[in-house]
Structure 1
Amino acid sequence: MLAPTGFSGDRERRMYPNVSRLLIDTFPLNTGPPPNTAQIQTCDELRRPFGTLYTVKGTTMTTLLPETDLKTTPINRLRVDQYTNGLIGPSQPMLGPLADGGTLITGTPPGCWGPMITPAFEGGHEVTQPVAIAGAEIGDAVAIKIKSMRVTSLATSSGVMSFVEGRYNGDPFVSKFCSKCGTEHPASYVEGIGEDSIRCNNCGAEVSAFRFSHGYVIVFDAQNQVSLTVNQDIANQLAGNACEMSALPELAAQHSILSLARADIPGVAAHMRPFLGNIGTTPSRDLPDSHNCADFGQYLIGAPHRFGMTREELHAAKTDGHMDTNSIREGCVLICPVKVPGAGVYMGDMHAQQGNGEIAGHATDCSGETEVQVEVIKNLTLEGPILLQNLDDLPPMARPMNALQRQKVRELGERWGQHEIEESGPITFIGSGENLNVAVENGLKRAASVTGLPYDEVLNRATITGSIDISRLPGTVRVTFLCPMNVLDRLGIGHLVREKYDLA
């Protein structure tokens, strides 16, 4: 973000006491008229609770309008290329409102490693500024239909992490400081390449709280959906042009992880299958974006930094947006809880590929473009997301039967005198917990609570018409089963299931 020149922000802070200091200091008030509408970028008229922020073509000029001039008419299409520097919650101003049924387009920077090595971040990702959805109220849900998704990075780096002791307070993702000068969350810069290239602005000391214990650099062919890890010489070349190779968006604040140039396993070919690791709705209190879940979030319980909280407070606030579930990809539908007015839809942490479990702790974080359509589901109260996976991603036992199979089932029923045959559709509940056992129980209980089916019936359905699948260690899972259509209709999502799976 730009630092204004010749500006203190005192007057603007008095006029807008509820506006975050970061936003005021970044976007000084222009008391003149708003820019000519011909200059405003399509889909970039950004409405906030305190006024309207205009992004003008070819400039960095912005205009904050007084609240009396706030336009509240929902818009049908919005592009977001602004980010929250590692935090998500009620303190983040929302863009929009986006109309129910509207289209949201985002360009997202990588999650995890880039923010991890950038000590100014208080979270492990760099997700988009949240967007208010018209008509979404606490106790509703928002369906996010992923229409398209593509990787824009040419390369990235990832691997198994280790921490540098003496450079963080309790949690290296959240509370970093410079071990030499003591500055908390210091601004930093990149000098050279390698693991000692991240430097404190204040004193010049090497400042990253993370290291690779084993890492790789990987290049992408997004058109053909293949990738290849490279050797040290190529990794060094990529590090010399790290931001461009990562395709970091203009307003991204992270350092590129390519600068570290760690290349331990060259020559490994891998399929690409991009998905979003962190997508959903705003929690009811401020959280580090990577900790909007139960497994990563458990490190906030009793933490010594400003985000420390109780287990009860965490579970009441979180929306489980950070799932690292590799089936949240183009074509799926994600149904998310609304815990703040307007929902506050956000997304980020695109991965180019990842197997179930994300066993290394991190996958191939990349920049990307995503287009989604939103739909408000009234009075569907959720604690965590529901996922309508693509047919290819469903466990075999949960895939709807084809016409021939249904005919054979009817014939089987006739032979035995069982004439009533249930109409059902696939549904997946995300379970989240401190470990896999807790996460499985959480997902099953959520399924029973939301559907109204007895818990033991959910166990049986998940056994013969579904599956339990690991999304991420230590504690995110998918609980999938065939659910009666009359139950799905009662929940207000039957039409989504019928449309998704072409059910009559």
Structure 2
Amino acid sequence: MSQQVERELEVDQYTLGLVGPDQEWAGTVADGGTVRTHTPAGCWGPMITPEFRGGHEVTKPIAVEGAEVGDAIAIKIKDVQVTSIATSTGSMKERDRAFGDDPFVDHKCPECGTEWPETVVEGTGEDAVKCAECGANASSFGFEYGITTVFDDDYEVGLTVDSAAAEDLAERADDAMALPENSRQHSPLLYAPSEMPGTMGHLRPFLGNIGTTPPTEIPDSHNAGDFGQFLIGAEHDWGMADEEELEARTDGHMDVNEVRAGATLLCPVKVEGGGIYVGDMHANQGDGELALHTTDVSGHTEFDVEVVTDLDLDGPLLLPNEEDLPDISAPFDDDDIETAQALGEEYGVDVETDVGPIQVIGSGATINDATQNAFDRAGDLLDMSEGEVRTRSTFTGGVEVGRLPGVVQLNMLVPMDRLEELGMAHLVREQYDL
């Protein structure tokens, strides 16, 4: 880990699809400092590049001055800027014999058997990624149903294009994807998919994979309770024996579309320094990421960091932009409080007016498992019974789906005195001007 502490840290170096304490560190930023990252696109590029050991290309880990195991790090996202002019995405199909247990992790050439083969690009289309040893198509994935999407200059609208435009973009795939200099992935624009041309989509960029380093090495796309299921029983180097081993995860791979500019994300520190990493920027995504993939893009992110001492989290907490909260979890205004106080006087009840919204991230094999994980995490953190967590989340919140099959956000309004005891009330007050 770098010992030089930077007030402002620029990061443009990436891993080959792994997160863990043995990865080379990008540097150390001061508590209260600023990090700026330049990241390549996420899923599809690494997925079709057999050198990768995971499905994303995230930054090398960033240490935060003074962050110790058992603390938390608040990541205050200031800016998310897309640089790609286009991308390709869609639902996937796997290619037989191009992998062992997991098409995202243990790649091999289906012809010569070379593991994690180096590859070269020849032409365009789904046969373009060739094994450097034998020349066979070495990619583990193709599109079951794929689209190529272009973006307007302000990144407000996306538009799917036809085969001619998709082929033109494929011919200049790296430039159109704006892959950073140190990126090692092939651009998915090479595949030139062109289903449902002329379809418009609203854009709102966010980060699909951002968090802290787990204490054991994990493929970056599998650092979550749902994708992590593929590691259980796997025979490759990152296989796990059971669900208990998977508890080492830090749930950086959330695909929660509210993790965008203006949001604050609190992440557990499970290795000294925390090891923040960033990647998998998306131009847009509906709740659930129903195709399992969305509009992966390259881009710049800026965020400030703050160490929250002794805030012992099991997984991430999100403080989204107020406009992204469900109505039932929005902070109360003066009229609401006045009305409640009048009811309190009528019925002889002291009114709990000092409350704030939080979202507890849960993950698991299914949505139900993820929700139970969020109940458990919320109960442990807030010292509440499961009955109280369920009831507060029903009366003042609910569950939103980040990704199928198993990432959720558990919303609730929490008494501020509980958040004061945890040392995080100031973050909630700052976020929602309370």
Q: Where on the TM-score scale, by shorter chain, does this alignment land: which range? A: over 0.9
What does 1:41-120 align with in structure 2 at a 5 Å threshold? 48-49=1-2, 72-120=3-51
Equivalent position to 1:324, from 255, 268, 290: 255
Q: Deviations over 1:378-410 (max 9, x none)?
A: 111111100001111111110011122222222
Kept in 1: contact 2:352–2:415 (CA 8 A): no
Q: Give the letter for the 2:170 counterpart.
A: A
Task: After superposing the two structures, state which structure 1 stretch, 343-352 or 312-321, moved more.
Answer: 312-321
What residue in structure 2 maps to residue 52 of structure 1? none
Percent same amino acid at aligned positions?
Answer: 52
Q: Is the 8 A contact 1:100 1:134 kept in 2?
A: yes
Shift of 1:314: 3.3
What is the Cα deviation at residue 312 of structure 1?
4.3
For residues 315 and 208 of structure 1, what CA distance do their matches in structure 2 show? 27
| Structure 1 residue aligned with 2:406 | 475
The one of 352, 355, 360 aligned to 1:421: 352
Name the SS of the counterpart of 1:405 in structure 2: helix
Distance 1:210 1:473 in 2: 20
From 91, 95, 100, the counterpart of 1:169: 100
Q: Matched residues in 2 for 1:422 and 1:272: separation?
A: 36
**Alpha-carbon distance in 2 for matches of 1:496, 1:222:** 34
| C-alpha distance in structure 1 between counterparts of 2:155 and 2:278, whole Å | 25
Q: Distance in 2 between matches of 1:354 and 1:472?
A: 10
Find the partner of 2:235 among 292, 296, 304: 304
Q: Report the secondary structure of 2:176's partner residue.
A: helix
Q: Shift of the alpha carbon at 1:423?
A: 1.4
Q: Say if 2:433 is the partner of 1:502.
A: yes
Which string of whole-angstrom CA distances, capped at 9 and with x for unpartnered residues, describes residues 199-257 of structure 1?
01111111111010100000012515111000000000000000000000000000000
RMSD: 1.0
Deviation at 1:96, TM superposition (A): 2.2
Match 1:278 to one of 185, 195, 209: 209
C-alpha separation in 2, matches of 1:420 and 1:104: 41
The counterpart of 1:356, out of the listed 268, 280, 287, is 287
- Please say if residues 275 and 350 of structure 1, whose CA atoms lie closer than 8 Å, have aligned partners that are also in contact: yes
In structure 2, the residue matched to 1:446 is 377
Deviations 1:7-51 (A, max 9, x none): xxxxxxxxxxxxxxxxxxxxxxxxxxxxxxxxxxxxxxxxx44xx
Aligned residues: 434
Match of residue 456 from structure 1: 387
Q: Aligned in 2, Cα 1:405/1:337: closer, same or farther, shift over 3 Å? A: same
Q: Counterpart of 2:310 in structure 1: which amino acid? A: N
2:193 is the counterpart of 1:269: no
- Say if 2:340 and 2:351, in contact at 8 Å, map to a contact too: no
The structure, 1 or 2, with the larger RCO (C-alpha pairs under 8 Å, 6+ apart) is 2
Per the TM alignment, residue 415 of structure 1 is displaced from its structure 2 partner at its CA by 2.5
Q: Could you tell me how far 1:366 is from its partner in structure 2?
A: 0.5
Amino acid at match of 2:180: P
Deviation at 1:185, TM superposition (A): 0.4
**1:429-458 Cα distance to aligned partner (Å, 9 max, x none):** 001001111000000110010011221111
Secondary structure of the structure 2 residue equivalent to 1:317: coil
* 1:230 match: 161
Aligned residue type for 1:172: P
Q: What's 2:56 paired with?
A: 125
Per-residue deviation, residues 266-324 of structure 1 (Å, max 9, x unmatched) = 00100001110000000101110000011000100110111111224533321000000
Q: Report SS of the residue matched to 1:171.
A: coil
**Is the Cα–Cα contact under 8 Å of residues 159 and 199 in structure 2 kept in the other structure?**
yes
Q: 2:364 aligns with which of 401, 425, 433?
A: 433
Any conservation in 1 of the 2:13–2:26 contact (CA below 8 Å)?
Answer: no
TM-score normalised over the length of structure 1: 0.85
4+ aligned runs moved over 3 Å, structure 1: none
**SS, match of residue 247 in structure 2:** helix
Specify whether residues 179 and 122 from structure 1 end up closer, same or farther in structure 2 by C-alpha distance, changes over 3 A only. same
Matches within 5 A, 1:187-206: 187-206=118-137
Deviates more, 1:174-183 or 1:303-312: 303-312
Structure number, greater radius of gyration: 1
Structure 2 vs 1, CA of residues 485 and 161 (structure 1 numbering), >3 Å: closer, same or farther?
Answer: same
Shift of residue 73 of structure 1? 4.2
Compute the TM-score of the two structures, normalised by the length of structure 2.
Answer: 0.98
Aligned match of 1:340: 271
Query: 1:431 is paired with a residue of what secondary structure?
Result: strand
Give unmatched runs, 5+ long, in structure 1: 1-47, 50-71
Note closer, same or farther for the CA distance 1:420–1:264 as it changes in structure 2 (3 Å cut). closer
For residues 243 and 312 of structure 2, the distance between their equivalents in structure 1, rounded to whole angstroms, comes to 18
CA contact (8 A) 1:150 1:222 kept: no
Paired letter, 2:250: T
Partner of 1:12: none
Unaligned runs of 5+ in 2: none
Does the aligned pair in 2 maintain the 1:427–1:483 contact within 8 Å?
yes
Distance (whole Å) between structure 1 residues aligned to residue 299 and residue 245 of structure 2: 30
Report the 3-state secondary structure (helix = DSSP H, G, I; strand = E; otherwise coil) of the residue aligned with 1:218: strand
Query: How far off is 1:420 after superposition?
Result: 3.3
The question of whether the paired residues in 2 share the 8 Å contact of 1:461 and 1:482 is answered with yes
Alpha-carbon distance in 2 for matches of 1:398, 1:189: 51
